[in-house]
């Protein structure tokens, strides 16, 4: 028997998830985009890029069923990796919205062909790899009883992959959970059994999307049987990281926190380079632990990392609202905590307010480094410690802070989705964001669209110190202008939310 508070939550959930209609005009499809006029929405982008997009600098793709010749395989099939997972999830998010339209069938059929050849990771170590499990959420939605592509055998396979992913998260929690200190209970983003050689003790903003957001969605569909994981594990990840990632003064999140700067060579190198900073007690708004002295944070505020964290909060809160209504699929008797829901919603509100304040007034987009504008620059071979190891800019060149497309897409998707669910009130900022993304970053013509201006990669390790210079000219951060997967997938997530807002259906 539910307590009175859970009855109240269920009513809230029903109200927020009950087909609220966005009011808005159909967007102008003739968007002036620099040198050319581009007419692009989610449908056009998927049709153009289903079988030809980039994972870093390698072109890969998914099978394409949008053909008179049946399913056509891409030249190079995407492998099991979080980047293909982000693209596939973006496509399936769009498909779920438009699934009653026959023209969207080809997207599901192509991804079904790919998904039946994949197997979710059931071992911990790298949360990025586990995140790809989200592909099977959309595929199961289509194959389950009553789904548009109802197929008992396929549905069973996809559910088993969701359960494998849950076992992978359980394995990760058992092996790579921070044991003590202020961030106790938090999952390490990337780790191996040897703490001296891995990213031991690090929690990244990115990991919130890759780990606990996935777990929340698995809990909501009943895919966690056989594990001990529950809603408290979801909340623990945010409660462990938020007090140390969030800069109350700047109203922005740092990219990474470190709980071990002595054993692990990656954290030690960053600390010794002068780009890791001890969290000060006065800046930590929490009473969960009295030992924050072991916690350090990275120096800068990276746009894409902030986008991952905010979208993770939105996805977790959405899964929570679904879960309190669905006794039939709940994995455990544990119900989500209203107190934890309120805490995560407060985190989301703070982050949304902080990022909207950093939205570029001219374009509606966001910068690679959120704390600066385009006047912040770095020169090849020279960072603020005199290090010569940054080599992505041509000889003698300078790279200045730039509007970055993947961060803009992720933040926009979170603002629009969070507003649609009634969790925040930033629909107008999200609308400006998406329209700015199309104007600023989309080029090409029907059948051959590109998305410009995405950072290829970024991380924190012994040779990636997290300085401003690193994020601008580091060895693995070149700007990609070729529809790289992280921006393609996040563009589709933002596009479908914009189309929901505008009331587009066909």
Biggest CA pair distance of the chain: 69
**Structure tokens of 123?**
């071992």
Query: What pLDDT, in 10s, does the model give residues 426-471?
Result: 999 999 999 999 999 999 988 889 999 999 999 998 888 999 989 9
Query: What pLDDT, in 10s, does the model give residues 360-392?
Result: 999 999 999 999 999 999 887 645 554 444 545
Q: What's the pTM?
A: 0.90
Give me Rg for the CA atoms of the chain: 22
Cross-strand bridge partners of residue 454: 480
Q: What is the 3-state secondary structure (H, E, C) of 251-283?
A: CEECCEEECCCCCCHHHHHHHHCCCEEECCHHH
In 14-154 the beta strands, taken as DSSP E runs, fall at 31-33, 36-38, 53-55, 58-60
Cross-strand bridge partners of residue 37: 32
Q: How confident is the model at residue 6 (pLDDT cuts 50, 70, 90)?
A: very low
- 315 vs 11: CA distance, rounded Å: 19
Residue with tokens 């699929």: 329
Query: What pLDDT, in 10s, does the model give residues 216-233?
Result: 999 999 999 889 999 999
- 326 vs 324: CA distance, rounded Å: 6
Q: How confident is the model at residue 40 (pLDDT cuts 50, 70, 90)?
A: confident
DSSP string, 155-206: HHHHHHHHHHHHHHHHHHHHHSB--SSTTTTPBPSB--S-TTTS-TTEEEHH
- Residue 39 has a pLDDT of 59
Task: Sort residue 307 into left (φ over 0), alpha (ψ -120 to 50) or beta.
Answer: alpha
pLDDT beyond 80 at 128? yes
Q: Domains (ranges, CATH) in the chain?
A: 4-502 (1.50.10.10)
Q: How confident is the model at residue 69 (pLDDT cuts 50, 70, 90)?
A: confident
pLDDT beyond 90 at 24? no
What average pLDDT does the segment 187-203 reach?
92
What average pLDDT does the segment 183-203 reach?
92
- 305 vs 33: CA distance, rounded Å: 27
- Residue 118 has a pLDDT of 97
- Residue 127 has a pLDDT of 96
């Amino acid at each position: 028997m539910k307590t009175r508070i859970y009855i109240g939550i269920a009513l809230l959930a029903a109200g927020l998830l009950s087909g609220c209609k966005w009011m808005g005009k159909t967007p102008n499809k003739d968007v002036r985009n620099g040198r050319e006029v581009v007419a692009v929405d989610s449908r056009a982008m998927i049709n153009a890029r289903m079988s030809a997009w980039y994972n870093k600098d390698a072109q890969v793709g998914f099978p394409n069923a949008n053909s008179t010749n049946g399913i056509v395989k891409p030249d190079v099939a995407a492998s099991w990796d979080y980047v293909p997972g982000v693209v596939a999830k973006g496509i399936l998010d769009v498909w779920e919205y438009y699934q009653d339209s026959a023209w969207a069938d080809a997207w599901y059929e192509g991804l079904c062909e790919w998904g039946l050849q994949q197997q979710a990771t059931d071992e911990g170590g790298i949360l990025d790899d586990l995140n790809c499990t989200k592909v099977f959420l959309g595929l199961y939605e289509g194959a389950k009883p009553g789904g548009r592509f109802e197929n008992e055998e396929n549905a069973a396979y996809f559910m088993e992959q969701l359960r494998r992913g849950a076992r992978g998260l359980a394995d990760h929690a058992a092996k790579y959970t921070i044991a003590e200190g202020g961030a106790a209970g938090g999952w390490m983003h990337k780790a191996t059994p040897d703490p001296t050689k891995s990213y031991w003790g690090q929690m990244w903003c990115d990991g919130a999307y890759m780990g606990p957001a996935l777990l929340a969605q698995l809990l909501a569909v009943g895919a966690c049987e056989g594990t001990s994981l529950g809603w408290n594990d979801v909340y623990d990840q945010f409660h462990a990281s938020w007090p140390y990632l969030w800069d109350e003064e700047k109203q922005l999140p740092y990219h990474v926190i470190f709980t071990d700067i002595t054993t692990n060579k990656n954290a030690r190198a960053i600390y010794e380079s002068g780009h890791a900073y001890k969290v000060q007690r006065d800046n930590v708004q929490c009473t969960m632990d009295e030992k924050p002295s072991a916690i350090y944070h990275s120096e800068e505020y990276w746009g894409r990392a902030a986008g991952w964290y905010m979208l993770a909060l939105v996805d977790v809160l959405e899964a929570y609202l679904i879960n309190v209504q669905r006794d039939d699929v709940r994995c455990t008797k544990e119900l989500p905590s209203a107190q934890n829901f309120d805490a995560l919603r407060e985190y989301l509100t703070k982050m949304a307010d902080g990022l909207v304040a950093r939205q570029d007034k001219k374009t509606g987009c966001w910068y690679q480094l959120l704390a600066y504008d385009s006047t912040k620059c770095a020169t090849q071979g020279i960072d603020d410690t005199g290090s010569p190891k940054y080599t992505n800019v041509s000889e003698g060149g300078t790279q200045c802070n730039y509007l970055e497309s993947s961060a803009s897409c992720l933040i926009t998707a979170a603002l629009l989705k969070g507003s649609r669910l009634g969790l925040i009130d930033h629909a107008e900022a999200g609308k400006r964001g998406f329209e700015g993304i199309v104007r600023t970053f989309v080029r090409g013509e029907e059948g051959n669209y590109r998305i410009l201006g995405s950072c290829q990669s970024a991380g924190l390790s012994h040779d990636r110190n997290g300085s401003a210079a690193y994020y601008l000219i580091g060895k693995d951060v070149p700007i990609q202008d070729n529809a790289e997967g992280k921006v393609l997938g996040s563009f589709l997530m933002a596009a479908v939310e914009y189309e929901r807002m505008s009331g587009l259906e066909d």
